[in-house]
Structure 1
Amino acid sequence: MLDANRSGTATASPRAAATELAVAVPTADPVPSPRAGFATRCTRVLLSPWARLVLLVVILAGAASTVLLFEPQRLLTHGWPPQLGGAAAALVFAVAYGLCSVAFVPRPLMSLAAGALFGSELGLAASLTGTVLGAAASFGLGRALGQDALRPLLRGRWLKAADVQLSRHAFRSMMAARLFPGVPFWAANYCAAVSRMHWLPFLLATALGSIPNTAAYVVAGARAAAPTSPAFLIALAFIAVPALAGAVVAWRKRHHLRPR
């Protein structure tokens, strides 16, 4: 506001002058506190790729140690908890199957146990469900905690060729890995997680490719009391045939792993 003095000259009021001065002088940016800067740096370090990889290693080591301390094989010695039976017991077993597979427990042993506990049909359903659950958990952990740190390390020509094979031919590659018993279950899961393979071909190939050998081990476990029975001998044959077929396929497709 302008006020007129006695000489007729317009002057600014003190309040208006103060307002104009405040607008004219730019305000300084607030200085971040040392505590806020330290928290930002800690958050950045904790979310870095290598920190997440260390977390993945700690989780897997803890899971494996828990399995060793708990000794789940005692369930086969003392029997399944009596309060569970039928489909409920098979569902609990399937969840435990998946968790144990993440903790590096061999799937053949768990499939044999499924057959011994639940028979062929229910044991196969529990084993396949546990297989898919364990594969999904391993793939998710590897993709979220390990991919960003491990992908820059794929510099060797064989590693790059394997990564290209898994990324471009996801379904076929994972089917071959599941049909070939020589590829460890956990290794296939984490290699697929580090690659650019998508969820759908990974899970679909896991479910379909695991049927032959899983069924063979389940039937062998269910018929273990009669090792000379035709069912047990056929199951042993189905364990050997996928191994041979996988070796033949890997030999014929070996040129795909050569770097171009």
Structure 2
Amino acid sequence: MLDATTRSGGTATADPQATAAELAVVPDTVAPEAPTGLVARCTRVLRSPWSRFALLVALLAGAASSMLLFEPQRLLAEGWPPQLGGAAAAVVFAAAYGLCTAAFVPRPLLNLAAGAVFGSELGLGTALVGTVLGAGISFGLGRLLGQDALRPLLRARFLKVADGQLSRHGFRSMMACRLFPGLPFWAVNYCAAVSRMGWLPFLLATALGSIPNTAAYVVAGARASTPTSPVFLVAIGVIAVPALIGAVIAWRKRHHLRGH
């Protein structure tokens, strides 16, 4: 009867319950407003690549200053603290080794100290763990805080060639860098971080390529008390011969490098 009345032009009364439900509909959540003004500008500045690069520079400067005050080379003269020994001492030394290499402390000094403190076998293992740890710290900091800011600056032909080599042939390139004497450890780490090299080839090539040079210095440190022993002389030869070969290659390639 009601339907007929509605179709014929009659008036139908609205359902009170439906009307109340419609009026009761309110949004459950309110979309958050985007930050504006000073907060938005500060956020953009803090997230910018150059702000992160400035943080990286500040961290490295602070770490280098701390190493100058700490003077880790005293381990060569004073020895390891007697309170630490055994496996705990090796773990602490490896962690300190990694932090020191990230703060630009030369690895030869640390390798000599590892050999003097722990001997040839344990010293080599400790130094290699510290080497990989320090390389990973440097690579991670460079990749997180420096890559976005520095990659747009790779405009020179030589830098583009180096970046392409590291990015496309990461493992092979890093092996060559680790085996080639004279290249600063920290510089290779941060250059690799700016490239698109992956983590696995970087760490694996670092571990394998660092064995010969690290072993030579560790053995030299372990046998430093007997400088005329055959083992010590062989270790010194392993250190000196590659350095001499590297110097000769660099001298012969100097014109080629200048041309690029």
TM range (shorter): 0.7 to 0.9
CA contact (8 A) 1:115 1:218 kept: yes
SS of alignment partner, residue 84 of structure 2:
coil
Any conservation in 2 of the 1:175–1:206 contact (CA below 8 Å)?
Answer: yes
Measure, in 2, the Cα distance between the counterparts of 1:247 and 1:202.
25
Query: For 1:45-124, what aligned pairs fall within 5 Å after superposition?
Result: 45-124=45-124
Q: Secondary structure at the match of 1:148?
A: helix
Per the normalisation by structure 1, the TM-score is 0.83
Unmatched segments (≥5 aa) in structure 1: 1-7, 24-28
Question: What residue number does 2:234 align with?
Answer: 234
Q: CA deviation at 1:119?
A: 0.7
**Is the contact between residue 171 and residue 201 of structure 2 (CA under 8 Å) also seen in structure 1?**
yes
Number of positions where the alignment pairs a residue of Structure 1 with one of Structure 2: 249
* 4+ long deviations beyond 4 Å: 8-13, 16-21, 29-33, 244-252, 254-259
Q: Residues 179, 247 of structure 1: CA spacing in aligned structure 2 closer, same or farther, 3 A cutoff?
A: farther
Instruction: Give CA-to-partner distance per residue, 1:82-131, whole Å, 9 cap, x none.
Output: 22112211111010000000000000000001111111111111100000
Q: 1:256 to 1:37 in 2, by over 3 A?
A: same
Question: Please, what TM-score do these two structures have when normalized by structure 2?
Answer: 0.83
**Aligned AA (1:80):** W
Cα root mean square deviation, aligned = 3.2
Q: Distance in 2 between matches of 1:177 and 1:147?
A: 20
2:201 alignment partner, SS class: helix
Aligned partners of 2:76 and 2:112 also within 8 Å: no
- Separation in 2 of the partners of 1:209 and 1:171? 10
**1:124 aligned partner, one-letter code:** L
Q: Is the 8 A contact 1:179 1:243 kept in 2?
A: no
Moved more, 73-82 or 241-250: 241-250
Q: Secondary structure at the match of 1:72?
A: coil
For residues 13 and 249 of structure 2, the distance between their equivalents in structure 1, rounded to whole angstroms, comes to 95
Once residues 112 and 229 of structure 1 are traced to their aligned partners in structure 2, the CA distance between those partners, rounded to angstroms, is 16
Q: Which one-letter code corresponds to 2:100 in the other structure?
A: C
Instruction: Specify the SS of the correspondent of 2:119.
Output: helix
CA distance in 2, matches of 1:109, 1:160: 33
Contact 1:124–1:215 under 8 Å retained in 2: yes
Letter paired with 1:177: C
Is residue 73–residue 109 contact of structure 2 (8 Å, CA) maintained in 1? no
The worse-fitting range, judged by mean Cα deviation, of 209-218 and 71-80 is: 71-80
Q: What residue in structure 2 maps to residue 148 of structure 1?
A: 148
Partner deviation per Cα, 1:55-74 (whole Å, 9 max, x = no partner)? 00011001111111122233
CA spacing shift, 1:187–1:10, aligned 2, 3 Å: same
Aligned residue in 2 for 1:3: none
Structure 2 unpaired stretches of 5+: 1-9
Check the 8 A contact 2:50/2:149 in 1, yes or no. yes
Report the CA distance shift for 1:42/1:245 in structure 2 as closer, same or farther (over 3 A): same
Question: In structure 1, how many angstroms separate the alpha carbons of the residues matched to 2:187 and 2:101?
Answer: 11
Task: Kindly indicate whether the alpha-carbon contact (under 8 Å) linking 1:63 and 1:103 is maintained by their aligned counterparts in 2.
Answer: yes
The amino acid across from 1:42 in the alignment is C
Change (3 A) 1:249 1:76: closer
The percent of aligned pairs where both chains have the same amino acid is 74
